[in-house]
């Protein structure tokens, strides 16, 4: 089932991505959050620049919307190099990658988003490029086929993935630097929103910052999206003034509660509670009941609910937590009585 969710951590449209690009930090000193990752990147970049070398290949993994693409752009800027961007699904044949690799200059950055979705032929083609900075390209077919060895300039491959478990071991092991990007704290999101509001020339008070931040699911992309919705609401309903009350009304109008959940999240939790006695239940059963794809459940709905402690993933399946019952105003004792006859 295809739907547009305001709290979807993936881009809603190309136009939104263009708007977000203008809000992105340009250097590591402007980057908010992920302190350990930023500190380690600074050391790696400074060391490479002192040696006048390209950076090692870098792998960023973590849920969508947390800044993996932003960090890739920052790395290229900090290194004073050019960034060429592509994605796993877009590179379907070795020839697609050959054109990009041959155009890279010394020190350039090749960024591949959703790198776990590279096809096997393309993935195997990139191995010698990552290790030895050369590729073997086959031209013609059959008896006329011949292999041409093409040397490449030393470059840095930055891969981003939301599903690191789907990366093959040979590909993962070829990255010298591996960083996990995690959800942000509320105070970090507040800082990001305040910076974005300044760039958007929008006045916003601390109460509004908090309301937007706590409903943003620890994700900068969602925070910036909610900020724009609140700004629109304030412009029409409140003479452009964003105060606490305006922010709450604007976000609740979109069906998003104080924990950052929308209708689909709450429906997911209620399915487990009402249809499967609170769990454990397999993701396939939940997907069938919700009429959603399994990938949608695992990639879109569950990451935040798991991280926030509303759902527990066990060997037997998914189980809701006491926190989820409290949020939905379901008394655990009443639930047990209804489900198990008071036992």
Looking at the fold, whether 47 and 158 belong to one and the same domain comes out as yes
Give the number of domains in the chain. 3
Which pTM value belongs to this model?
0.86
Model pLDDT, residue 6: 85
Rounded distance between C-alpha atoms, residue 106 and residue 10, angstroms: 32
| CATH number of the CATH domain containing 156 | 3.40.50.300
Looking at the fold, whether 272 and 329 belong to one and the same domain comes out as yes
Looking at the fold, whether 74 and 111 belong to one and the same domain comes out as yes
Model pLDDT, residue 13: 76
70, 156, 161, 162: the active-site residue: 162
- Last residue of a domain, which of 147, 162, 180? 180
At 260 the three-state DSSP class reads coil
Looking at the fold, whether 234 and 332 belong to one and the same domain comes out as no
Is residue 299 in a domain? Answer: yes
Is residue 9 in a domain? Answer: no
113, 161, 318, 319: the active-site residue: 113
How would residue 265 be classed by pLDDT, with cut points 50, 70 and 90?
very high
Looking at the fold, whether 158 and 203 belong to one and the same domain comes out as no
How would residue 341 be classed by pLDDT, with cut points 50, 70 and 90?
very low
Looking at the fold, whether 109 and 217 belong to one and the same domain comes out as no
User: What dihedral do alpha carbons 325, 328, 329, 334 form, nearest 10°?
Assistant: -50
Is residue 4 in a domain? Answer: no
In the residue annotation, 134 being an active-site residue is answered as: no
Within the chain, how many helices (H) and strands (E) appear? 16, 9
Looking at the fold, whether 57 and 144 belong to one and the same domain comes out as yes
Looking at the fold, whether 278 and 173 belong to one and the same domain comes out as no
Model pLDDT, residue 12: 78
Is residue 77 in a domain? Answer: yes
In the residue annotation, 161 being an active-site residue is answered as: no
pLDDT at 142 over 70: no
In the residue annotation, 219 being an active-site residue is answered as: no
Q: Are 283 and 306 in contact (CB under 8 A)?
A: no
221, 225, 231, 318: the active-site residue: 221
Q: Which of 13-22, 83-92, 145-154, 278-287 has the lowest mean pLDDT?
A: 13-22
| CATH number of the CATH domain containing 216 | 1.10.8.60
Take residue 9 and report the two structure tokens written for it. Answer: 């951590």
Structural domain range at position 159:
34-180
Looking at the fold, whether 85 and 167 belong to one and the same domain comes out as yes
- Last residue of a domain, which of 218, 253, 288? 253
Chain segment 169-209, per-residue pLDDT in tens: 999 999 999 999 999 999 999 999 999 999 998 889 999 99
69, 161, 202, 219: the active-site residue: 69
Is residue 2 in a domain? Answer: no
Give bridge partners of residue 209 from the DSSP assignment.
Answer: none
Looking at the fold, whether 232 and 329 belong to one and the same domain comes out as no
In the residue annotation, 147 being an active-site residue is answered as: no
Looking at the fold, whether 157 and 240 belong to one and the same domain comes out as no
- Last residue of a domain, which of 253, 279, 297? 253
pLDDT at 129 over 50: yes
| CATH number of the CATH domain containing 309 | 1.10.10.10
Q: Which of 20-29, 103-112, 266-275 has the lowest mean pLDDT?
A: 20-29
Q: What average pLDDT does range 233-249 have in this prediction?
A: 90
Is residue 94 in a domain? Answer: yes
pLDDT at 144 over 70: no
Is residue 92 in a domain? Answer: yes
Looking at the fold, whether 125 and 44 belong to one and the same domain comes out as yes
Rounded distance between C-alpha atoms, residue 7 and residue 50, angstroms: 42
How would residue 69 be classed by pLDDT, with cut points 50, 70 and 90?
very high
68, 174, 217, 231: the active-site residue: 68
pLDDT at 333 over 80: no
190-193: which pairs have CB atoms within 8 A and are 24 or more residues apart? 191/32, 192/32, 192/33, 192/220, 192/223, 192/224, 193/223, 193/224, 193/227
Is residue 331 in a domain? Answer: yes
């Amino acid at each position: 089932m295809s739907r547009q969710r305001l709290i979807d951590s993936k881009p809603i449209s190309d136009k939104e991505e263009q708007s977000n690009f203008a809000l992105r930090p340009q250097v590591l000193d402007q980057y908010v959050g992920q302190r350990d990752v930023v500190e380690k990147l600074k050391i790696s970049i400074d060391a490479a620049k002192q040696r006048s070398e390209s950076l090692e290949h870098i792998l960023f993994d973590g849920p969508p919307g947390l800044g993996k693409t932003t960090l890739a752009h920052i790395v290229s800027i900090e290194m004073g190099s050019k960034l060429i961007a592509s994605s796993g699904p877009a590179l379907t044949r070795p020839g697609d990658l050959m054109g990009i690799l041959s155009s890279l200059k010394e020190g350039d950055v090749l960024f591949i988003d959703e790198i776990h979705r590279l096809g096997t032929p393309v993935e195997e083609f990139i191995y010698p490029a990552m290790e030895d900075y050369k590729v073997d390209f086959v031209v013609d077919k059959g008896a006329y086929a011949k292999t041409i060895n093409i040397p490449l300039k030393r470059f840095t491959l930055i891969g981003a993935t939301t599903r690191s478990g789907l990366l093959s071991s040979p590909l993962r092991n070829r990255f010298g630097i591996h960083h996990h990007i995690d959800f942000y704290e509320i105070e970090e999101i507040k800082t990001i929103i305040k910076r974005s509001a300044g760039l958007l020339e929008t006045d916003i008070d601390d109460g509004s910052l908090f309301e937007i931040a706590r409903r943003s699911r620890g994700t900068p992309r969602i925070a910036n999206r909610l900020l724009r919705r609140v700004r629109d609401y304030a412009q029409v309903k409140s003479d452009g003034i964003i105060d606490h009350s305006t922010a709450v009304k604007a976000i609740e109008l979109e069906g998003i509660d104080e924990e950052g959940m929308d209708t689909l999240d709450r429906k997911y939790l209620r399915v487990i509670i009402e249809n499967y006695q609170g769990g454990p239940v397999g993701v396939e059963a939940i997907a069938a009941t919700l009429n959603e794809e399994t990938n949608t459940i695992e990639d879109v709905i569950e990451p935040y609910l798991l991280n926030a402690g509303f759902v527990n993933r066990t060997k037997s399946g998914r189980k809701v937590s006491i926190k989820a019952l409290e949020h939905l105003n379901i008394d655990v004792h009443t639930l047990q009585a209804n489900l198990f006859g008071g036992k």
